[in-house]
A and B are shown apart, each in its own frame.
Chain A
């Protein structure tokens, strides 16, 4: 009886170590999105240049696609950009939100680096980004044909996240629709 009791602290200690092992390995900057499996909140943004169409939440549907949040001020976006260009070249539909940015800066950035986006909306005040629960750029939402968010990538899409997470998800969503 007493020997069994003596094992309890040992058991608790092991449980604590296991908890720490998993909890401390998590990146606390990755806040889970509340939008998963929910439709995008409604928004309507102007384009980055006069004469460009801008972006509405109702545009981001009809087929599985990506919604990428970027900004001309964002350093990791430069790092991610070649990946997006390649994906757009392969036929992945990507819409963009130019977040917390002057439209003219966003337009200049896209002219300089290339424009991988089907449509781009300028969110100068950052309010649409906040409605989407964006914590920083870049962030990328995977949206299904019905316009529901299925996944959120925080930080740049690299080859690893693309191959192991986003590409398989898009394939699955395409087979659903």
Chain B
């Protein structure tokens, strides 16, 4: 049993992840290719929605990867190459949405909710400290309470 498990792990160590990027698409300059890979991991495949164009096997994702590499070869910066696709497909293709008018709620919403939570916590703590300041027991009451809490001698 143990041998089987070890064999499986050994085999897994040699398994390479499957890439959608075909060798024919890759640039010969490793630096440019690395940049292209990095950018394409931030771009959404417009056909398959929740995959990056780096991951997707869709023909259109292939086209977009090739275009991206062409832009880089033409001397575009990373931002310029991204802007080229944003101009055609909108900010929708950016997996990291930019901070703009229609994403205000997305970016600021968590802070808003955190603020409300903070207000609730503070008001709860204030309420509790008010309870602690409630009138103390009188000496008589204290003595009676002690009497009641005393362990029963019979037990």
Which residues does A use to contact B, with CB under 8 Å?
1-2, 5, 8, 12, 28-29, 31-34, 100, 125-127, 130-133, 135-136
- Min Cβ gap A148→B in Å is 17
- By secondary structure, the B interface counts as helix
Interface pair B90/A5, CB less than 8 Å apart: no
Q: Is the interface of A mostly helix, strand, loop or mixed?
A: loop
Return the contact of A34 from the options B87, B116, B120 (Cβ within 8 A): B87
Verify B120–A136 contact, CB threshold 8 A. Answer: no
Cα separation A29 to B64 with both chains bound (whole Å): 17
The 5 closest A-B pairs by CB, nearest first: A135-B46, A34-B90, A133-B88, A31-B92, A133-B89
Q: Are the C-beta atoms of B49 and A29 separated by less than 8 Å?
A: yes
- Evaluate contact between A8 and B120: CB separation under 8 angstroms: yes
If A8-B120, A12-B116, A31-B46 touch, whether A133 touches B90 (CB-CB below 8 Å) is yes
**Contacting residues, chain A, for B47 (C-beta < 8 A):** 135-136
Residues on B with beta carbons closer than 8 Å to the beta carbon of A34: 87-90
* Partner-A contacts on B (CB < 8 A): 46-47, 49, 59-60, 63-64, 67, 87-90, 92, 113, 116, 119-120, 123, 127
Pick 8 A–B contacts, CB within 8 A, sort by A: A5-B119, A5-B123, A100-B59, A126-B59, A130-B67, A135-B60, A135-B89, A136-B47
Residue of B nearest to A131 (CB): B88
CA distance A47 to B92 in the complex (A): 32
19 additional A-B residue pairs with CB within 8 Å, beyond A12-B113, A34-B90: A2-B123, A5-B120, A28-B49, A31-B89, A31-B90, A31-B92, A32-B90, A34-B89, A100-B59, A125-B63, A126-B60, A126-B63, A130-B63, A131-B88, A132-B88, A133-B89, A133-B90, A135-B60, A135-B89
Chain A residues lying within 8 Å of B127, measured Cβ to Cβ, are 2
Task: Report the bound CA distance from A1 to B119 in whole Å.
Answer: 12
Q: Distance (Å) between the CB of A16 and the closest chain B CB?
A: 10
Q: Which residues of A contact B67 (CB under 8 A)?
A: 127, 130
Report the minimal beta-carbon distance from B20 to chain A, rounded to whole angstroms.
17
Contacts of B88 in A (CB 8 A): 34, 130-133
Taking CB atoms, residues of chain B closer than 8 Å to A12 are: 113, 116
- For residue B67, which residue of chain A has the nearest CB? A130
Point out the residues of chain B lying under 8 angstroms from A127, CB to CB: 63, 67
- Which residues of A sit under 8 angstroms from B116, Cβ to Cβ? 8, 12
Chain A residue contacts of B92, Cβ below 8 A: 31-32
A136→B89 CA distance, assembly (Å): 12
| B112 and chain A: residue at smallest CB distance | A12
- Kindly state the separation between the CA atoms of A3 and B20 in the bound complex, as whole angstroms: 56
Bound-complex Cα distance A130 to B53 (A): 14
Please indicate the chain A residues that have their CB under 8 angstroms from the CB of B89 in the complex: 31, 34, 133, 135
